Structure 1
Amino acid sequence: MQPLAAIDSVHPTTPDGRYFVVKGQLWRCSNPSLSEEVRQRLVNELMAARREVKAAKASADSDALKAARAGVHQAKVALGERGDVWWTDGARDFNRCKVENTPYAQWYVGSEAQRSAK
């Protein structure tokens, strides 16, 4: 399965499919070995937890906010976006790093030039 971010030309995906880039920062993609059914269920859980975060903030309920944020984290770990990496080659995780400070820097400069030329 192709990472969702690969479809989004605004947020390019690294050639290895591990990260997508937003405002020059790498964000880990979901585990591509998840079935579409499982991935969609987890995305639904993530979005529900995010709505719970919003509601908890609006009600100023700190206990509900803590629980909702835990739900967001749990869904992201299950998706492979946080926690242990889903690849097995021993490569370092660059999640949340500035792309310019990673081995993806040269690729990103080239991909930015290609997008600018379009």
Structure 2
Amino acid sequence: MRSTPDGRYIIVRGRLWRCADPSLPEERRQALVADLMNARRAVGQAKRSGDADAMKAARAGVDAAKTALGERGPVWWTDGAPDLNRHMAHTTPYAAWFAAVSDGER
């Protein structure tokens, strides 16, 4: 896993995924990550049980934690740069950097 030079995204299989807001206090970030992991476990349990209501609640928990972390929702940076979350790195302004560091990873 590699981070973009500006720290806004990680790259997974050539795709940009928004990072958590680095201005979050560490204690708050850890609590939100714990919430996220609990919600992801709940998604798995709901899948195994086939409980549609539990699945809906678990997915809402994942979304709430990711939004609070800054990985979804409004961007946490203030320079007006667009959100490129989920874009392929080679189709973004990071393309030249990605080509130089990726060794053909796509």
Q: Does 1:50 align with 2:40?
A: yes
Q: What percentage of aligned pairs have identical amino acids?
A: 61
The CA distance in 2 between the partners of 1:111 and 1:32, in whole Å, is: 23
Question: Could you tell me which residue of structure 2 aligns to residue 26 of structure 1?
Answer: 16
Deviation at 1:112, TM superposition (A): 1.8
Q: Select the residue among 56, 59, 66 that pairs with 2:56.
A: 66
Aligned residues: 103
TM normalised by structure 2 equals 0.95
Superposition RMSD on alpha carbons, in Å?
Answer: 0.6
Question: Could you tell me which residue of structure 1 aligns to residue 71 of structure 2?
Answer: 81
TM normalised by structure 1 equals 0.86
Q: Show structure 2 runs of 5+ residues with no match.
A: none
The structure with higher relative contact order (CA 8 Å, sep 6+) is 2
Question: Could you tell me which residue of structure 2 aligns to residue 93 of structure 1?
Answer: 83
Q: Show structure 1 runs of 5+ residues with no match.
A: 1-10, 114-118
